[in-house]
Structure 1
Amino acid sequence: MVKVSIGVPVYNVEEYLRQCLNSIMEQTFTDFEVIMVDDGSTDNSFSICQEYVAKDNRFKLIHQENKGLAGARNTCIKNMHGEFITWIDSDDVVDNNYLERLLEVQAETGADIVKCAKKHIRGNNVYYITNYDNLYKMYENNNQVINFQKLDILLDAIDSHLAIVEFWGTLIPRRLYKGISISQGVIYEDQGNKFKLYLQSKKNILLLEQLYGYRIREGSIMRRQSSLEKELDDLQFYTYNWDKLVYYADVSNYNVEKIRETYIEKLNDLYTDVNLGEEDNKIYREAINKQKQKLQRYWNM
């Protein structure tokens, strides 16, 4: 059995794919397999993946009809054999000691889940580096390692205050994925699925070394003007994921009251965060109130 399975979902990323796969080939830790799932790409991504399969037997390639990111992740999981799993998005890159450091920290701490910090890249250059000292100033920092309480991480699936909800940049034992399927057809699929793993974990570590390069694509940083339709869509996506979190916490009998409380607080925050006209604000407020009423009926509040 290999030590680490690296999942790389691939869809129409020919411009960036070689940079991603080269950064994996250059890892200082070498006992890994790469499971690439081409999710129905219409560009040259599949052919590029074939190049790496031909020159490195650690790279495995699966082609499927388009199922979306979650569907590609599920296919990856079914074909993984490593003791640990990590995810690298196919337009991102990792430092050459990415695997080595995650494994070292896992061995030193005995953590179930280890996540590293990220840097933003554009083209071949570092574009933006988050001030993690400020972001995590309320947590004890032991030699660039923070030990998070499980509840803090689960609440992050609602308010994203810790910026650790993503699948990528994380080392997780494959045993925690047993019986878990990544929900398909869901926007913000990280937010709506990773908490399933955290509910099973006992110790969760963040390594403040920026080993993961998260790509800012040209055009992706342009924010659309706020509109009622967009805000209502986002509200639907958010609440769908949060409803799942509450359900799983309830089934697991884990701090469900605190999670519900944070859910309601976040609904109130959503209203104050949008910038709509008077009539649209009224419609948006009504949508939030309907969601709160639904929750109160469900929870018998």
Structure 2
Amino acid sequence: MISIIVPVYNVEKYLEECLESIKNQTYTDIEVILVNDGSTDNSQVICERYCQQNPRFYLINQENQGQSVARNNGVTVSKGEFITFVDSDDVIKSDMLQQLMRYMDTGIDIVECDFTEDKEIYNIKNRQLKIEEFTSSEALKKCFDMEIKWSPVAKLYRRKIVEGTPFLENLIYEDLYSGIVSLKNIEKMRKINYIGYYYRIHPRSTMRRKFDSKNLDLFKIGDSLLEKFSEDKLLPYIAKVLFLVCIAHVELYKIRPGHPYFKEYDGNLKKYLGIAKKSSEVLKSSKLLRWYNFSSKLFIIIIFPLYLKYLDIRNKINYKRDNLE
């Protein structure tokens, strides 16, 4: 059985579409654990209605404690041999679980498919699935190169992996820690180039939230990862990932000289770069690190914003070329 964990907080606008996509899965041996994290809108009422209508749906109500606590509590009460996470403002394709389960074999601890923030790309049908298999160290390197995602969604986990890496509580960006550390704990995983998950971006999304001091949780997560891998040869790769996430924040929130937290971001960027540079392989593999090393100011103001625009255009072209029937 697959346990689907859905943390819910004030998402009445999107919740029904999410729950319908789960209810209509072609793989039917499921339980759906809805964890209402102290919602103040009609989210709880919607959850209760689905639980009354479908015996596979269960509701837990808790005081508002955050998404990571909700996920951990959902895992605790779940019973499935396999676990997947769906955010309550997102949507999954009707055969996503069936596709993931098809490639979950003995010795495989995670099966991952693709997710997208673009509804047009989400609706593209794949021509032919490509299946890749990785050991733990191979998966980690793929994650460091952004080819495997650290997000917990669009994945099917063997239960022991989730239980062995609970989400860090009372922090945002906890996905970064749990996603990377969980790959450290696997035997093997598989990745399929199937777009099964639509990640909805809206004003309440974590990466669209207005900047405040809570965003500095990123550096606590970073310190935890650096400590976890402190004796590991992959430490420079961890630093590279932290650098890339940090520079993405700088662009997203337009953190420039004069911003109240610019010095903190600038200091951490230099710290991550310094650790990453200890590996010539890491520095050679990342033009972003090299560009920043050449001129941090020019990189932040001009180079990186242009690079992101280029990536967005290239990715759309590639998805359409590779997947359109």
| TM-score category (smaller protein) | 0.7 to 0.9
Q: CA-to-partner distance for each residue in 1:148-168, whole Å, 9 max, x for gaps?
A: 4533543576x5622511111
Give distance in 2, aligned partners of 1:289 and 1:184.
24
What is the alpha-carbon distance in structure 1 between the residues aligned to residue 11 and residue 196 of structure 2? 21
- Matched with 2:112 is 115
Q: How far apart, CA to CA, are the structure 1 residues paired with 2:147 and 2:116?
A: 15
Distance change (3 Å), C-alpha of 1:21 and 1:150: same
Structure 1 segment 115-194 matched on structure 2, within 5 A = 115-120=112-117, 126-128=119-121, 143-151=129-137, 153-154=139-140, 161-162=146-147, 164-194=149-179
Task: Give 1:105 shift.
Answer: 1.3
CA distance in 1, matches of 2:39, 2:201: 20
- 1:103 maps to a residue whose letter is M
Match of 2:263 in 1: 283
Q: Take 1:82 and 1:244, find their aligned partners in 2: how far apart are those partners? A: 29
Give the secondary-structure state (helix, strand or coil) at the position aligned to 2:181.
helix
- Equivalent position SS for 1:191: helix
Q: 1:97 aligns with which of 95, 101, 105?
A: 95
148-157 or 20-29, larger mean C-alpha shift: 148-157
Amino acid at match of 1:178: E
AA of the residue aligned to 1:112: D
**How far, CA to CA, are the matches of 2:256 and 2:92 in structure 1?**
43
Q: Is the Cα–Cα contact under 8 Å of residues 153 and 198 in structure 1 kept in the other structure?
A: yes
Output the CA distance in 1 between the equivalents of 2:272 and 2:65. 32
Q: What's the CA shift for 1:283?
A: 3.2
- Alpha carbons of 1:259 and 1:151: their partners in 2 closer, same or farther (altered >3 Å)? farther
| Distance in 1 between residues matched to 2:245 and 2:14, nearest whole Å | 37
| CA shift digits 1:29-74 (9 cap, x unpaired) | 1111000000000000000000011011110000000010001001
How far apart are 1:243 and its partner, in Å?
Answer: 2.4
Give the 5 Å matches for 1:57-76: 57-76=55-74
Matches of 1:161 and 1:207, distance apart in 2? 15
> TM-score if structure 1 supplies the norm length?
0.75
Question: What TM-score does the superposition give when structure 2 sets the normalisation length?
Answer: 0.70
Distance 1:21 1:266 in 2: 34
**Further displaced range: 210-219 or 271-280:** 271-280
Given that 1:156 and 1:165 are in contact with CA atoms closer than 8 Å, whether structure 2 keeps it comes out as no
Residues 155 and 262, structure 1, Cα contact 8 Å, conserved in 2: no
Q: Identity percentage over the alignment?
A: 31
Deviation at 1:265, TM superposition (A): 8.1
Equivalent position of 1:213 in the other structure: 198
> Is 1:199 paired with 2:179?
no
* Contact 2:239–2:272 (Cα < 8 Å) also in 1: no
Structure in which a larger fraction of residues adopt helix: 2
Tell me which amino acid in the other structure corresponds to 2:196. Answer: L
SS at match of 1:185: coil
Residues 290 and 52 of structure 1: is their aligned pair in 2 closer, same or farther, counting only changes over 3 Å? same
The yes-or-no answer on 1:247 pairing with 2:227 is: yes
Instruction: Tell which deviates more after alignment, 279-288 or 79-88.
Output: 279-288
Go from structure 1 to structure 2 and tell me whether the alpha carbon gap of 1:39 and 1:289 turns closer, same or farther (over 3 Å shift): closer
Alpha-carbon distance change, 249 to 50 in structure 1, aligned in 2, over 3 angstroms: same
Q: Distance in 2 between matches of 1:114 and 1:271?
A: 29
Aligned residues: 270
Compare 87-96 and 260-269 and name the one that shifted more: 260-269
| Distance in 2 between residues matched to 1:188 and 1:248, nearest whole Å | 16
Question: Could you tell me how far 1:288 is from its partner in structure 2?
Answer: 3.0
Which residue in 2 is equivalent to 1:85? 83
